[in-house]
Amino acid sequence: MRVVVTGTDTGVGKTWVSAALARPGDAYVKAAQTGDDDDAAVVHELSGAEVHTLARYPEPLAPATAARRAKLPTVLMAEVAHFVAQLDHERVIIEGAGGLLVALDDQGGTIADVAHLLDAPLVVVARAGLGTLNHTALTVEAIERRGLRCLGIVIGAWPRDPDLAAECNLQDLTQIAPLLGKIPEGEFTTMELPA
């Protein structure tokens, strides 16, 4: 099974959700890492999965922009899909960079295009606070418009002391897509993928 983890935005907790879904014996692929973070190392440490990062760019920007600024080639969405298709693992978790439609390559390819090439369902990671409903609805709508399947939504950093917006979002997100769970802020937990 191949699953793409995408987000409604950058910094929503895609890496923590990827680690929560991954298990030893699985593979994790980060198509493009931007900035100083090392998402693959985090996923490996937390889950024990085999990890791969296909491109690294020094600035924390959209991958195509970061590549252009660093004068480096972009990793093409077709290359990502080909790499993933060659992996001999029962489960592969593919994590995007930024949101669903952020340019991955200099030809406008996105993580949505990678999911399409792999015929892989997606998990959408959202924030707990204000703006979540609109961003999540737009992301799920874009997934469905492309003929892809959304397995559900995960709240990436559930606050220790949730405010009214977070509590209401928890209920309202279920009208957009199934709510798979929430990752407590600063804590690690494992999650199961729906069938």
Q: What is the pLDDT of residue 106?
A: 87
- Over the range 38-76, which residues count as b (16 or more CB within 10 Å of their CB) and which as e? bbbebbbebbebbbbbbbbbeeebbbbbbbbeeeeebbb
186 is in an annotated binding site: yes
- Residue 43 contacts residue 171 (beta carbons within 8 Å): no
Tell me the Cα Rg of the chain.
16
Residue type, 126: A
Q: What is the pLDDT of residue 189?
A: 86
Q: What is the pLDDT of residue 188?
A: 86
Among all residues, which ones are annotated catalytic?
Answer: 30
98 is in an annotated binding site: yes
Total-model pTM: 0.94
97 is in an annotated binding site: yes
**CA–CA gap between residue 164 and residue 178 (Å, rounded):** 21
Domains of the chain listed by start with CATH number? 2-184 (3.40.50.300)
144 is in an annotated binding site: no
Backbone angles phi and psi of 111, in degrees to 5: -65, -25
Q: Which residues of the chain have pLDDT under 50?
A: none
Q: What is the pLDDT of residue 110?
A: 93
Give the contacts of 164 (CB within 8 A, at least 6 positions apart). none
147 is in an annotated binding site: no
